[in-house]
Amino acid sequence: MKKIVSGTELQEKMQEAITLLCDTVKTTLGPVGNNTIIDHSTFSPFITNDGVTIAKNIESDDSVINTILELAKEAAIKTDETVGDGTTTTLVLLESIFLDGLEKIKNGKKAMILKNELDNSLKKVIALIKEKNRIPAKDDLFKIASISSNDPKIGEILTNTFITVKDTAAIKLIDNNTNKTEVNFYKGYRFETLLASPYFLKKEKISFNNSKILISNQEINDLEEIAEILNEIIAKQTNLIIIANDYSEDFIQSILSLYLNNTAQIILLKNPLYGENSYTFLEDISIITNAKARFSKTNLNRLSLGLCEHVEITKEKTTLQFTSNENIKLYKKNIKKDETEYSKKRLAMFTNGLAEIKIGGLTETEIREKHMRYQDALCSLNVAKKGIVPGSGITLLEIKEELNIESDGDEILKNSLDKPFIQILKNAALNDQEILKEIKKNNYKILYNVSLNKYENKKETSVIDSTEVILNSIMNACSIASMLLTTSNLVINEYQNNLNKQNEYNEFI
């Protein structure tokens, strides 16, 4: 059976849902925000002040309210997925925008007209935020990483690593088996070592200079396929690295016999990637070495060979070192057009190289906890590299003064912009009106550092927000608020809801 909820009843349910969600989460905002205890059905209760975690766990016995809650949660979850922060700010803004908008609609404002006005007002706010954006200096990055990890040492290590490789996609975090944290930098094209046989690795590390390279996206089954190349390698006593999708067992055993008897220095590697990435991988190797990749079942000859300045092979990784040239520079421009994490890592290998941070600790628990801190700080650096603004709600507060009211949408958005600032101070049990008065008196050139309990110059403060976080918070809040405000009916499957409740009851007894 379907139940349709509309009119005043739906508006009241929406208001109740938004208030339930946002009032619960917003008490966690800021450096001294409060904690929340979450009781979970599958594991022990836990304490957290993470906004998105709290939001995900808020539910209602009322099926209508619960449906609206799931929609509203999307604003916080989307912000978290996009920039890894700002979820609580999103919900603080959402509550203000929605409740003010609902009042306008109750007083006769057409919902779609209000949505269009909110969209136009949002464009103005976004432009004002971008005007205040600045590219972070090294000291800013250190502050961001240190605050995010709550550890200046982690902030220092991550910042120095980031400055060297220039991209967070080039930094890999792994757990160390000692109590020391180590940072290793790698120049060259680095990929997972996938040997055709473990016996090719005679020792921990094999290094070849001026090695011939042969690549194929086909399986190599017979020595006859590389007969011309094999004869040249044996005759000239040169090194050869073959990278192919796979090899027949007979081929592997034949090459391995030549290798172990020192007749030919040939090592067989398999393409470590799959699908489209496997083709991209071969293209990368081809541009580095000038090898001609085989894409059909034809014999390979000396014209297929490429050359690599230096090859280093370990059990875990293979590294090809090379000197950049005009072809590689042109190739990098095409990689830059792709914004995927895989492409960013490829670009790093063609430019500044990769970094590996091996996180150490006395126990597995300590290492796990440190790893989470490093990961949080790395996410913060990733979004902050595009630009930063002063934090503690001061940026949106200042924009509120600059936004002119030309529509109801402007008025609603303007009224929401001081809410994060006020909530941060309320959570710290501070007098927001008194602090606001002092900030206005100083023409918004200062902010209040809640952690240190003092005023600071905006240009010198350690309280910094990523511009991307602020932008995503206001955009996602407006998006969900507009969607709810323009909804006039809600259809609920009461039979399914009753069935779910009965199943939960059956499980309980």
Three-state SS annotation for 265-313: EEEEEECCCCCHHHHHHHHHHHHHHCCCCECCCCCCCHHHCEEEEEEEE
What are the pLDDT digits (tens) for 415-426? Answer: 999 999 999 999
Buried b / exposed e over 17-27, threshold 16 CB at 10 Å, is: bbebbbebbbb
Count up the domains in the chain and report the number. 3
| Mean pLDDT of the region 45-58 | 82
The enclosing domain of 28 has a CATH number of: 1.10.560.10
Count the neighbouring beta carbons within 10 Å of the beta carbon of residue 4.
Answer: 10
Quote the pLDDT of residue 373. Answer: 85
What are the pLDDT digits (tens) for 83-118? Answer: 767 788 999 999 999 999 999 999 999 999 999 999
Is residue 189 within 8 A of residue 170, CB to CB? The reply is no
Q: Which residue has the higher pLDDT, 38 or 121?
A: 121
Quote the pLDDT of residue 295. Answer: 63
Q: Are both 119 and 165 inside the same structural domain?
A: no
CA–CA–CA angle 220, 222, 224 (5° rounding): 115
For residue 188, how far is the Cα from the chain centroid?
Answer: 24
Q: Are both 150 and 127 inside the same structural domain?
A: no
Quote the pLDDT of residue 494. Answer: 65
| Mean pLDDT of the region 378-401 | 92
The enclosing domain of 256 has a CATH number of: 3.50.7.10
Q: Are both 231 and 284 inside the same structural domain?
A: yes
Domain membership flag for residue 303: yes
Domain membership flag for residue 333: no
Q: Are both 448 and 358 inside the same structural domain?
A: no
Q: Are both 156 and 250 inside the same structural domain?
A: no
For all residues of the chain together, what is the average pLDDT? 90
What are the pLDDT digits (tens) for 246-288? Answer: 999 999 999 999 999 999 999 999 999 988 899 999 999 999 9
Q: Are both 358 and 472 inside the same structural domain?
A: no
Q: Which residue has the higher pLDDT, 143 or 19?
A: 19
Quote the pLDDT of residue 52. Answer: 81
Q: Are both 128 and 154 inside the same structural domain?
A: no
Domain membership flag for residue 345: no
Q: Are both 204 and 295 inside the same structural domain?
A: yes
What are the pLDDT digits (tens) for 147-178? Answer: 878 788 999 999 999 999 999 999 999 999 88
- Report d(CA 60, CA 488) in Å as an integer: 21
What are the pLDDT digits (tens) for 184-219? Answer: 999 999 999 999 999 999 889 999 999 999 999 889
For residue 27, the SS3 value is helix
Torsion of CA 74, 78, 84, 89, to 10 degrees: -60
Quote the pLDDT of residue 500. Answer: 52
What are the pLDDT digits (tens) for 311-326? Answer: 999 999 999 999 999 9
Share of the chain above pLDDT 70, in %: 95
Q: Are both 424 and 501 inside the same structural domain?
A: yes
Q: Are both 381 and 412 inside the same structural domain?
A: no
Torsion of CA 434, 437, 442, 444, to 10 degrees: 100
Q: Are both 275 and 370 inside the same structural domain?
A: no
Domain membership flag for residue 50: yes
For residue 234, the SS3 value is helix
Q: Are both 204 and 124 inside the same structural domain?
A: no
Q: Which domain holds residue 176?
A: 144-184+354-388
The enclosing domain of 153 has a CATH number of: 3.30.260.10
